[in-house]
Structure 1
Amino acid sequence: MNLDERNLSALQPLFKPWIEPTMHRQPNPLAGSAAIIAPGRRPSKAPLVNQIRQQVNQWRLSGYAGVSETSRSLLNYWFNSEHLQSHADGSQSIFRYHWAQREAVESIIYLYELRHTRNDAELLFEYGDDASQNLALGITPEQLRWAKYCLKVATGVGKTKVMSLLIVWSYFHSLFEPNSELASHIVLLAPNLTVYERLKDDFANNAIFYNDPLIPEEWRNDFQMSVVLQDSSGGASTHGAVYLTNIHRLYERQAPSNATPSTSSLFGPSVQAARALDTGAALRQRISSHPRILVLNDEAHHLHDEENAWNNALESLHTTSLGRGNAGISMQIDLTATPKHNDGSLFRHIICDTPLGEAVDGGIIKVPVLGESNDLVEQGDKNTPAQQRFAIHLQLGYERYRRSYDEWQATRKPILFVMTEDAKSANEISDYLNSDQFPLLKGRVLNIHTKLTGSIKTVKRNGKEYKEFVENENKMSADDLQALRTLSRELDQADSPYRCVVSVMMLREGWDVRNVTTIVPLRPYTSKANILPEQTLGRGLRRMVPQGDLPETVTVVHHPAFSRLYADELAQEGLDVAIMPLSAAVNQSVTIFVDHERKPVSNLEISIPQVSDAVETLSELPPIPFEEIQSYFRQRFAPLPIGKPRHGQIDYKERHLFTAEQIASYKIDMGLLETAYTASNYFAQMIGRACHLASYQSLVPLIEDFISSVLFERPVNRFNGEIDHRMRDLDVHEHIRATFVPLILQKLVHKVERRNQNSSLLLSGWKPFQASNTDKRPVVTANRTMFNLVPCDNEFEQEFVDFCNYADDIAAFAKNTGPQRLMIDYIRPDGQRAHYIPDFFIRQKNGNYSLVELKGREDLLVPIKGKAAIEWCAVASQSGSKWRYIYVPYHLFQQQAPDTLEQLARASEPSLSTLLGDAQLVLPVTPLEPQPDSFERLLKEAGISKTPPTGLVNVMRQAIGLLEYAEQQHMRDLAHAFQPLLGPLDIYALRILEEGINPYLPSNALDYDSYFFPALNNVYNPGKRSAFERNGRYLKMNLVEKKSIQKLGNLLFCLDYTFNGRERLGGVWKDVHDEFDNKTMRQLYTDLNRVNQIRNTRIAHIEQRIDDPAEAWREMLVWLRCVATMAQIVIDKKL
């Protein structure tokens, strides 16, 4: 499109960076005209992405149902909360992750944890077309040894933040989930030294983990992570580690002593197959010593270059780990803006796609503009000095730069980037730009290329020291090369003297300067030169003001003949290019572990009953009748006077409703509070943030009516100005907050009955974890605990450990700490869900158990925590062993000298009674009671007579709850309620195949082919023959090769053959028929056939919406019965 004063709207974003894309720009068929704004999201050209997007969208609507509590907690914390971020100048701003970052993380978690789709073949079969499925059949088992996903993320969108989110997820999942297959040790690989230096800036000393809102406050003590840089001499001493290294450190990288400065010198070595795998042993040994590994490949398009050995290095790392008895690589995530093979084809495992066009539409990156002029012609020939040959290019580029300099100089320092053909041209052009002809650039040009001679000198200017590069005849030292790289990365900083960069090889990943506003490319665009338009633009796409409201541009100065070339190439990324005439250290810790070598662990065992949570939190706000708001206000408050008009700015503070704790303060200007008819939107935003609502729009009409008819001494008109002055008053703010916040929290958070899940966890199964060991928080030894050490938070706990060691009636005890500690949920007075962590477990010699709380100073929450603990103990006691809660105040322990726990418990009983009395004084939040018989009633209607396994019950409850809520909210599409059941269906389908057919597998692997592909002489229909051959192949892949292909469809084909097949075949088909020909399987076949039909057309692949609640409930009953039957078949087989 041509850009002029008539269509400057082409520079405006279409949506906010954190909002889901709902429209996109398309090229106008009329050449040069403004782009067409099309509804809907821009479809991806990656074959798997569009289907995955649909399913992830449905899953998001479900509140992330079906995955672990760890994953759900993190996703809601990251993406459904607003975060305040502090800056160096003392200011704060709201931090939100981009939609692209959110979707990338959600897609990984959805596929890995909910759907268990963990290899390329499964991805291609489940989400690809026929061609993709054929490709999947050719993938060898060796290529599927660990989960692999590729995230296509446009330059400037923020791959580093995606990596940090995935690291935190993998770490906490590994830490908190008992059967987690994820890793707490991560290998973050960079392709060259420039990328490595950028990543080091973010990750060194754990900086990114504490600068960004990555870790919930209550989990921070559990985040024991080291960042190990490639030059570090030692390994990690914490529970987790990020190994940040340039990929070449895994290889033999010995350059000759007489080597001259080269590309490797400036940017780090590239990957070469000839030097792979024969050294780097020490690094590989350190990494492979951990139980399992997560690999993150930054700029991963290098991964599939024909001449590199990156893949071989990962294979070696995996093999080394397995050889040491570990699990190897658990997951590999490739991140790049250009995931293409050398032939231009896309990587097959791309699961998420944010193209350049979408990033521009969202205002995440600058708008690329091609500045063109017919006068941009070269002078002379190739022998002409570069400054003469490209004089017009440089003059026009400078003029464009001057305009951007005038625009931004007050707040930023714009940068001009010139890309030259060779080092000789770079030197000539640098000298030319350093002249009086270009006053803004004189003395401010940084020349970088591989044949530089000179050194870095320190100069003083205005009392400050600066490093500058000075050219001379001396060969550059290694230190000077490093300093030169640093200078190139620090161009954005105000104290950097440079405004222009001239380079031959700066088109490398990792050079993330934000202030480039003008690019003058003087290198030819040819495939031989391997210079791509997105590479040229990539150097200047990052915004100077992240998430700013003002549009920013980067201009590429070019001849019109090149415009079509750029436009055609970048259109592949969904970009309609605008054409215009002329960037802490870790505390010391110790490991706490079950000491099998020195302790009689079986005698010190403690068994913890599994008890369900008592608090449910909804992801969306149910309807609030206006009459309920009106009644709540009038029962508690008097109407406010209208008063007389007054003006001025106010201070506003947010605090908890009952504790009065200040949580935020603001200087509020008029803004939305200028008038009463706009103020409702402001109040809705404030309340939505206080209650952690994903959307606040439904509150606006309620607040409007509340202000008009309830809040004041008489009904008012919000539009005639009579109460405009009151919208800024503190009493108005407080009464609106005090009315709406508790009502909302009552709807969102409610209490349910705790249930004994009839299972237990043994403390001897706890994983090792890290604990601090300081003077104030020491670790001590004890004989009656199975752990090597007991971490103590204070002197009181040290004294209690001594008591546990000598008390006559105590058999074993343990500190309730570490990642797998018992956490009992409860509702705080402000309506938010919280978790209580008792201090100690104790098992007495008579077999009874106790939860013990040691309390020095009390707070308002102690009574509520104590009541929750007593409830937990009552339910836990249903398992057979008696549990009780003992509350021990510090003063009482100091006064007593008990010989037994029984004596201490009796002495503490009055304190506990007083504690429970205090709990009644705390203003409770009225729970929204669900229908108590809903789950049991639906199981009965579905014909489910036996209670399914606990894990499946939880998933079934989530699905039922989602459908109930969706119906209540009159949602137009109810398909998301079925999402939690997709994973169990696939898992149980594979288990049924394994339990049923594995016993019949040939003992000799040489007989596999004849077993899975028996003679089909009596199958005359070509389509049927093909189906038998294909499903035989699937069975072999599922049962022998462990490729997990088409699990549900494979089982359904087996059942269809069992009950409908007239052919009597040998091999695996005979065993399938004999094993599955029974009444239970026939019922399963009926249900599974129906489930699969709905799944493939309306849930997993959406061809038609489920919008009728009656139909949805009918199908839900079938799904519940089907998955329960599958689970019972597996259980019966095990028995």
Structure 2
Amino acid sequence: MNRHINAIAGRLSLRPPQRRSLEILDRITEIAPPGKSADVAAMLEVIRGEFPSVTDFERDFPSLCFALATGVGKTRLMGAFISYLHLAHGIDNFFVLAPNLTIYNKLITDFSDRNHPKYVFRGIAEFAIDAPSIITGDNYDQRDPLSGMLFGDVRINIFNISKINAELRGGRSGQRVPRIKRLSEYIGESYFDYLAGLPDLVMLMDESHRYRASAGIRAINELKPILGLELTATPFVETSRGALPFKNVIIDYPLGQAMKDGFVKEPAVVTRKNFNPAGMSLQAIERLKLEDGVRLHESVKVELETYARESDNPIVKPFLLVIARDTTHAGQLLALIQSGEFFEGRYRDKVIQVDSSKTGAEEEEMIGRLLKVEHTEEPTEIVIHVNMLKEGWDVTNLYTIVPLRAANARVLIEQSIGRGLRLPYGKRTGVTAVDRLNIVAHDKFQEIVTEANRPESAIHLQTLVLDTDDLGQKTATVVSQPQLATKLGLKPAQLTSSTTMAGQDTAPVFTRPEEQKVAQIAYEVIRKLENQPQTLPTVEYLKKPEIQAAIVKAVEEQHRPAQLELEGLSEQPDIAAVVAQTVELVTQQTIDIPRILVVPKGEVKSGFKPFLLNLDSLRYPAVSDELWIQHLRTNQLEIVSLGRGGIEEARLEDYVVSSLVDFDDISYDDHADLLYDLAGQTVQHFKGYLSEED
């Protein structure tokens, strides 16, 4: 195995299926080295010999599909692939294909923004100094691709296949030559021809099932990359005759296995106890499912906040996804949720509609809120969508799905859960509500359960039955803090809109935000002094002028205004007065706990009195000093005597005592007589059943 595998897997914290994929790529480069002049047919035969699932590349170039379940981490795996191919084989040029604009923009961020939490090269030291150049479908004709080559720069081209398809269809101008094939003034040829001429171009295809038969991918074949790496969670193409599986799948890690291994949430189908749709209209069923979904969402929100506070993790703000039939239906649902009769209007400003009906400023606002739906400060808790949220919309805080679009059980399962399987903390927590994705499907409950329990089904769903009595009970996460903190006006970390604070009937001494900030700093300084008994023996010492002066000085050093302000325009807090009040509150609300030291009087001696050892359990056999050597061909027996080695002691007891001296449990000088007495007991015990020679 190449030495870079362990390094990359460790630096990028690859999961087992990701690491296995990287190991497979390493093996492929060993048995069928990619190259511009490589024999594609011969490579296929070699690879098929070791990986029988690969029966055809299905491209004009060697291309392999890595089928990994949603939520396992395909984008990070692409980063691992690029890192490995560059570090192990010196490959510098990569072409990444995205199936749509959403994934295209996401990939650009994940590959280029080093401050982004999902940056794919975090930990790769070679890229920390010399980061790869990111060339996109929007800027490739505005730069010289040859710049940076002298320094061995890695170049990653990220293109949107749907845009290439549109250009091939003629676009608005009717021009049938895509822009990528037009002459570039920088390089004297088209960028397409430049890429096709590169000796080491590797193509990575994200969600490759989305453009298998498109005109764009046929044009991409002309790039003649030395290797294609496809990534998808669904390695098949839907046709009128059914699903056609890919022929170049080299590893298949299905969703069922990802659930079993704990890499994604556990999906569960939800219904109401004793639900009977008889006599209920479609609108009534939808209203009931929507309301039960919101009730479940509120319960999950409490569970998530409670878990986060108890485990000292960031608070996750969950949201509910409603799948509407069409844009008209979505608009009706939006109006209902924003009405005052729906949960007393609590979600009026916490819901967005995501579909093609929005344009201009409304569309920008919709996309902006959607992209920030994971942020705790973003108020959105309900997202209504029709068909816009597909691959590429990767969120970790989707916990409840209410499908209101008519579909069979299999479609509901496949289309509903894909977007909500990612875990917010990257792994399961052991808390059921935190690790579960809920699909509210009262009217389809049994049908979905039956479909999921089929032997050939890759997904086995849990079931959750909502009790009417339980639905009427509202739970909340109550956060308590010391009364002193409440009086100082201090707030616990990570407050959310649903956080309930205990002791709210206690009025804070400081009401202005700036004074509360000063009081918090002062309190933190005092807490540090508590660990310095030489400076602050008791809490009463806080009232000494010199101690308060030191606290004021420390607070002034740490306190900074929220923003630069012109002098005299705003009232600045009196730091000395706030510190004095804080000290007064601390002394009133604190009880000194004295430090008690027990110190013996006079000379203190400790030691041992003679005692008898219980050696009944020590029955060690004597070990022979001879080795027997049997020759296999001649059967000759040879005996080798081993020398005892070490220092010969005058008495047997000396062997025991010399070993005991190495332990500091007992003083040899003070207890020599006792040690020899115990050693003598030991020797006599062994003499009782061993011969003198042994």
TM-score, normalised on structure 1? 0.35
Shift in CA distance, 525/112, structure 1 to aligned 2, threshold 3 Å: farther
* Structure 1 residue 363 corresponds to structure 2 residue 262: yes
Please, what is the CA RMSD of the aligned residues? Answer: 3.6
Residue among 445, 460, 463 paired with 1:576: 460
Number of residue pairs matched by the alignment: 434
2:52 maps to what in 1?
128
| Residue-by-residue CA offset, 1:1073-1116 (whole Å, 9 max, x unaligned) | xxxxxxxxxxxxxxxxxxxxxxxxxxxxxxxxxxxxxxxxxxxx
* Structure 1 residue 434 corresponds to structure 2 residue 342: no
3-state DSSP class of the match of 1:231? coil
3-state DSSP class of the match of 2:236? coil
2:447 maps to what in 1?
562
1:351 maps to what in 2?
250
2:196 maps to what in 1?
288
The alpha-carbon deviation at position 563 of structure 1 amounts to 1.9
Give runs of aligned pairs for residues 731-750 of structure 1, distance below 5 A: none
Q: In 2, distance between residues paired with 1:197 and 1:576?
A: 33
Q: In 2, distance between residues paired with 1:211 and 1:102?
A: 18
The alpha-carbon deviation at position 492 of structure 1 amounts to 0.5
Shift in CA distance, 108/378, structure 1 to aligned 2, threshold 3 Å: farther
The alpha-carbon deviation at position 413 of structure 1 amounts to 0.7
| Residue-by-residue CA offset, 1:308-327 (whole Å, 9 max, x unaligned) | 22430221322xxxxxxxxx
| Residue-by-residue CA offset, 1:226-278 (whole Å, 9 max, x unaligned) | 0112211225433221111211233444999999xxxxxxxxxxxxxx99865
| Residue-by-residue CA offset, 1:706-752 (whole Å, 9 max, x unaligned) | xx99995259xxxxxxxxxxxxxxxxxxxxxxxxxxxxxxxxxxxxx
* Structure 1 residue 503 corresponds to structure 2 residue 385: yes
Shift in CA distance, 285/367, structure 1 to aligned 2, threshold 3 Å: same
Q: In 1, distance between residues paired with 2:230 and 2:178?
A: 24
* Structure 1 residue 448 corresponds to structure 2 residue 354: yes
3-state DSSP class of the match of 2:245? coil
Q: In 2, distance between residues paired with 1:146 and 1:254?
A: 21
Verify the 8 A CA contact 1:78 1:214 in the aligned structure 2.
Answer: no
Give runs of aligned pairs for residues 479-518 of structure 1, distance below 5 A: 481-518=363-400
Shift in CA distance, 187/371, structure 1 to aligned 2, threshold 3 Å: same
1:228 maps to what in 2?
135
Q: In 1, distance between residues paired with 2:197 and 2:250?
A: 30
Give runs of aligned pairs for residues 260-275 of structure 1, distance below 5 A: none
2:237 maps to what in 1?
341
Verify the 8 A CA contact 2:63 2:248 in the aligned structure 1.
Answer: yes
Q: In 2, distance between residues paired with 1:222 and 1:444?
A: 43
Q: In 1, distance between residues paired with 2:414 and 2:354?
A: 21
The alpha-carbon deviation at position 485 of structure 1 amounts to 2.5
Q: In 2, distance between residues paired with 1:376 and 1:555?
A: 20
Shift in CA distance, 255/145, structure 1 to aligned 2, threshold 3 Å: closer
Structure 1 residue identity aligned to 2:52: G
Q: In 1, distance between residues paired with 2:143 and 2:59?
A: 32
| Residue-by-residue CA offset, 1:999-1040 (whole Å, 9 max, x unaligned) | xxxxxxxxxxxxxxxxxxxxxxxxxxxxxxxxxxxxxxxxxx
Shift in CA distance, 336/376, structure 1 to aligned 2, threshold 3 Å: farther
Residue among 58, 61, 73 paired with 1:146: 61
Verify the 8 A CA contact 1:204 1:229 in the aligned structure 2.
Answer: no
Residue among 167, 172, 181 paired with 2:82: 167
Q: In 2, distance between residues paired with 1:209 and 1:293?
A: 28
Give runs of aligned pairs for residues 1016-1031 of structure 1, distance below 5 A: none
| Residue-by-residue CA offset, 1:540-579 (whole Å, 9 max, x unaligned) | 101111125334111001132332354057x656432111
1:184 maps to what in 2?
92
Q: In 2, distance between residues paired with 1:292 and 1:339?
A: 26
Give runs of aligned pairs for residues 920-939 of structure 1, distance below 5 A: none
Shift in CA distance, 275/339, structure 1 to aligned 2, threshold 3 Å: farther
1:113 maps to what in 2?
30
Q: In 2, distance between residues paired with 1:414 and 1:425?
A: 24
Residue among 331, 335, 350 paired with 2:227: 331
* Structure 1 residue 76 corresponds to structure 2 residue 9: no
Verify the 8 A CA contact 2:168 2:178 in the aligned structure 1.
Answer: no
Structure 2 residue identity aligned to 1:423: T
Residue among 407, 410, 415 paired with 2:319: 415
The alpha-carbon deviation at position 206 of structure 1 amounts to 5.6
* Structure 1 residue 535 corresponds to structure 2 residue 415: yes
- The structure in which a higher percent of residues are helix is 1
The alpha-carbon deviation at position 344 of structure 1 amounts to 1.7
Give runs of aligned pairs for residues 395-406 of structure 1, distance below 5 A: 395-406=291-302
1:250 maps to what in 2?
164
The alpha-carbon deviation at position 526 of structure 1 amounts to 4.3
Structure 1 residue identity aligned to 2:417: L
The alpha-carbon deviation at position 184 of structure 1 amounts to 1.3
Over alpha carbons, which structure has the higher Rg?
2
Shift in CA distance, 212/229, structure 1 to aligned 2, threshold 3 Å: closer
| Residue-by-residue CA offset, 1:5-30 (whole Å, 9 max, x unaligned) | xxxxxxxxxxxxxxxxxxxxxxxxxx
Residue among 102, 109, 114 paired with 1:201: 109
* Structure 1 residue 546 corresponds to structure 2 residue 453: no
Verify the 8 A CA contact 2:164 2:216 in the aligned structure 1.
Answer: no
| Residue-by-residue CA offset, 1:170-195 (whole Å, 9 max, x unaligned) | 222342xxxxxxx3111111101111
Structure 2 residue identity aligned to 1:290: L
Structure 1 residue identity aligned to 2:438: T
| Residue-by-residue CA offset, 1:403-446 (whole Å, 9 max, x unaligned) | 10121246111100000111111011111122332255232001
Shift in CA distance, 488/710, structure 1 to aligned 2, threshold 3 Å: farther
Verify the 8 A CA contact 1:376 1:392 in the aligned structure 2.
Answer: no
Shift in CA distance, 506/212, structure 1 to aligned 2, threshold 3 Å: closer
Give runs of aligned pairs for residues 515-914 of structure 1, distance below 5 A: 515-526=397-408, 531=411, 533-551=413-431, 552-558=435-441, 559-564=444-449, 566-568=451-453, 572=456, 574-582=458-466, 713-714=664-665
2:556 maps to what in 1?
none
Verify the 8 A CA contact 2:97 2:204 in the aligned structure 1.
Answer: yes
| Residue-by-residue CA offset, 1:577-609 (whole Å, 9 max, x unaligned) | 111213xxxxxxxxxxxxxxxxxxxxxxxxxxx
Shift in CA distance, 364/143, structure 1 to aligned 2, threshold 3 Å: closer
Shift in CA distance, 101/536, structure 1 to aligned 2, threshold 3 Å: same
The alpha-carbon deviation at position 225 of structure 1 amounts to 1.9
Give runs of aligned pairs for residues 9-20 of structure 1, distance below 5 A: none
Verify the 8 A CA contact 2:167 2:178 in the aligned structure 1.
Answer: no
Q: In 2, distance between residues paired with 1:295 and 1:209?
A: 25
Structure 2 residue identity aligned to 1:391: R
Verify the 8 A CA contact 1:518 1:554 in the aligned structure 2.
Answer: yes
2:511 maps to what in 1?
none
The alpha-carbon deviation at position 531 of structure 1 amounts to 4.0
3-state DSSP class of the match of 1:316? helix
Structure 2: 5+ residue stretches without partners? 35-39, 183-190, 307-314, 467-530, 532-658, 667-694
The alpha-carbon deviation at position 168 of structure 1 amounts to 1.0
Verify the 8 A CA contact 1:366 1:554 in the aligned structure 2.
Answer: yes
The alpha-carbon deviation at position 108 of structure 1 amounts to 1.5
Give runs of aligned pairs for residues 988-1067 of structure 1, distance below 5 A: none
Verify the 8 A CA contact 2:168 2:176 in the aligned structure 1.
Answer: no
3-state DSSP class of the match of 2:357? coil
Verify the 8 A CA contact 1:426 1:502 in the aligned structure 2.
Answer: yes
Verify the 8 A CA contact 2:161 2:217 in the aligned structure 1.
Answer: no
The alpha-carbon deviation at position 110 of structure 1 amounts to 1.2
Verify the 8 A CA contact 2:297 2:400 in the aligned structure 1.
Answer: yes
TM-score, normalised on structure 2? 0.56
Shift in CA distance, 243/512, structure 1 to aligned 2, threshold 3 Å: same
